[in-house]
Structure 1
Amino acid sequence: MDFAVQAADAAVTLPVGQLLPIGEETVGRLLGEDVEFVYRNAEYLLWGAVISVLLTVTSILLGFLAGFPAGAIETYGSGYSRAFVRKFGVLLRGTPILVIMLVTFFVLPYGIVHGAVEALLGALDFVLGPTPFTAAVDVPGAFVAATLALGFRSAAYQSQIFRGALQSIDEGQMEAARSIGMSRLEAIRHVIVPQALRRSVPGFQNEFTIVLKDTSIAFAIGLAELLKRSEDLFIEQTTAILEVIVFISLLYFVLTFTTNRTLDYVNNRFAIPGESS
C-alpha cells in the first residue's frame, strides 16, 4: 500500500468538500477543464508534498548525524581517519545524486536498515500501545533507500559546512579555554562547537533547500513523492501537463520559501552577539 495513502488513512479523514470548498464544476466553468482536473486531484498531490517533506526531514537529520562528526574529524582529526573522511566525501560530492540513489536501491543491502526501522516502529507500538500512525503506516523500502542516498550525500556537504564553521573560530579561544584548565575535548565541546553551530546556519539553510528539491529524484525508484504523483496524473490526462507542473512548482516554492524564512529567523535568533546576521 502506498505510504501517503496509509498516512492519510491513519489521520482524521475530512470530506473533500471541506478540503476543497469551491465546487469542481465552478472551477471548470471559470478556469477550464485542465485546471479543474488539477483541482480535483489537489489532495492527491498534497499528500505527495507530505512525503517530500518527511523525506527531507529524515535525510537532513541523517546528514547532520553523519556530517557534523565528519566535519570535526576533518578539522581536528589526524592520519587515516581524516584521509578516509575526505576521500569518501569527495566521492559522494562528485557522484550525481541519481546514481547514488539507484545504487542504494538496486545494489546496496538497504533492507537491513529497512528491517531496523520496522522493528523500531514495532517497539514504539509495543511500548506506547497501538497508535494510528505505527499501526497503519508501513514504511516502504524506497523511502528508506531514498533517505540513505539523500542523507549521506547531504552529509558530504554538511561536513564542509561544519568544517568551515569550526575553522572560522579564532584559535585564541582554544588557547583561552586550555589556559583555564579545560582539556582539548572540553574546549571543543563547550567553546568551539556552540559558536560553530551558530555560524553554520546560513550554509545549513542552503543545504536544506537543496535536499528538499532533490527529493524529486526519488521518483526514479518509485517513491510516491510529489513528482511521482504528478507523473501518475500525466498518464491519466496528458492535456493538463502544464497545469500540473505549475501547481507542483508552486508547492515546491511554498515549501522552500517557508523553510528559508524559518531558518532566517533561527539565524537571527541564535546569531553570536556582536556579529552581523
Structure 2
Amino acid sequence: MDIYDVLIRDFPFLLKGLGVAIALLFCLLVIGLFLGLAICLIQLYGPRSRFVQWPLIVYERIFRGIPIIIMLFIFFYGLSGVYDISAFAAAVLAMGLRSAAYQSQIFRSAFQSVPEGQMLAARAMGMSSSKAIAYIVLPQAIRHAIGPWTNEFSSQIKETSLAYVIGVVELTRQAHYIITSTQGNVLIVFAVVALLYFILNRAGNSALYAFERKLSVPGFEK
C-alpha cells in the first residue's frame, strides 16, 4: 500500500493523538496557571517567613532545573511503585508542576511591573490588601502576563510530544505506530505531524494575541 494511502487511512488516528495532546496541554496549563499564580501571590504578598518562602524557592528551582524527560520518568515509574498512576496522569502532574514553576515567574514579573503606588493608593482609599490585589493590581498584571504566557503556551505544546516516552498515546506515538506498520516513510509521516503541531501552535497564538488586543487599553503598555 502506498504511503499516501496509509496516511489517508490512518489520519483519524493522528487526529486522535492530536486530541490527546490537546487534552494534556489543557490540563497541564490549568495546573500551571492556578498553582503558578498562587505561588506568585504568596511570594509577593504572603508571609516573609523563611518557612513559607524557602519551600517555594526550592520547588521552583527543582522543577525549572531538571529536564522534563527525567521528571516524566520520576512521576511515572517512581510513583507507579507506590500508586497505580496512569501514564497520562503522570504526564499531567510532571508537566503541570513544571509549568507552574515557570508561570509563577511570569506572573511575578507581571505583578512587579504594576507601579507600587497603585497598591498604596488603593490602601489609602480604604481597600483591603486582598481587594486591592483583586481589583487593582491583578487586572493590570494579567495584561502584562499574556505576552510571556503565549511563549509558555507554545513551549508546552512542543513538550507534550515528550509524553510518548512513558507510553502516552499522543500524536508522536501515533506517528511511530504508522511508521512501524509501513516499515519506513519517517520523513513524510513526521512532516505531517510537524504540520499538525504548527497549525495548533499558530491557532493558539492567534487566539491569545486576539485576547491580548481585546484587553489592551490605549496607552497602558507605555
1:58-82 CA-to-partner distances (Å, cap 9, x unmatched) read: 1100111110011112222312222
Deviation, structure 1 residue 36: 2.3
TM-score by length of 1: 0.75
Distance 1:180 1:111 in 2: 53
* Pick aligned residue for 1:265 from 193, 210, 214: 210
CA deviations 1:105-146 (Å, max 9, x no partner) are 1112698696xxxxxxxxxxxxxxxxxxxxxxxxxx111111
1:273 CA drift (Å)? 3.8
Q: Check conservation: 1:199, 1:271, Cα contact below 8 A.
A: no
Within 5 Å, give how 1:89-100 maps onto structure 2: 89-100=60-71
Structure having the higher Rg = 1
- CA gap 1:41/1:73 in 2 versus in 1, 3 angstroms: same
The 1:176–1:276 alpha-carbon spacing in structure 2 relative to 1, beyond 3 Å, is closer
State how far apart, in whole Å, the 2-side matches of 1:109 and 1:272 are: 49
Preserved contact between residue 37 and residue 240 of structure 1 (Cα < 8 Å): no
Aligned match for 2:17, one of 27, 44, 48 = 48
Residues 206-242 of structure 1, C-alpha deviations (whole Å, 9 max, x = no match): 1111111111111011111000111111211123211
Q: Which runs of 5+ in 2 are unaligned?
A: none
Structure 1: tracts of 5 or more residues without a match:
1-27, 115-140
1:39 is aligned to 8
Change (3 A) 1:179 1:110: farther
Looking at structure 1, the residues matched to 136 and 52 of structure 2 have their Cα atoms a distance apart, in angstroms, of 23
Which of 159, 168, 177 aligns to 1:232? It is: 177
SS in 1 for 2:185: helix
Superposition map of 1:73-84 within 5 A: 73-77=42-46, 78-79=48-49, 80-84=51-55
Amino acid at match of 2:5: E
Match of 2:93 in 1: 148
Q: 2:29 aligns with which of 52, 60, 64?
A: 60
Q: Which runs of 4+ in 1 moved over 4 A?
A: 109-114
Match for residue 163 of structure 2? 218
Partners of 1:169 and 1:158 in 2: CA distance: 17
Does residue 274 of structure 1 match 2:211?
no
**1:72 lines up with 2:41 in the alignment:** yes
Q: How does 1:63-212 map to 2 (within 5 A)?
A: 63-77=32-46, 78-79=48-49, 80-108=51-79, 141-212=86-157
Separation in 2 of the partners of 1:111 and 1:202? 40
1:182 partner SS: coil
What is the alpha-carbon distance in structure 1 between the residues aligned to residue 80 and residue 188 of structure 2?
A: 39
**Alignment identity in percent?**
34
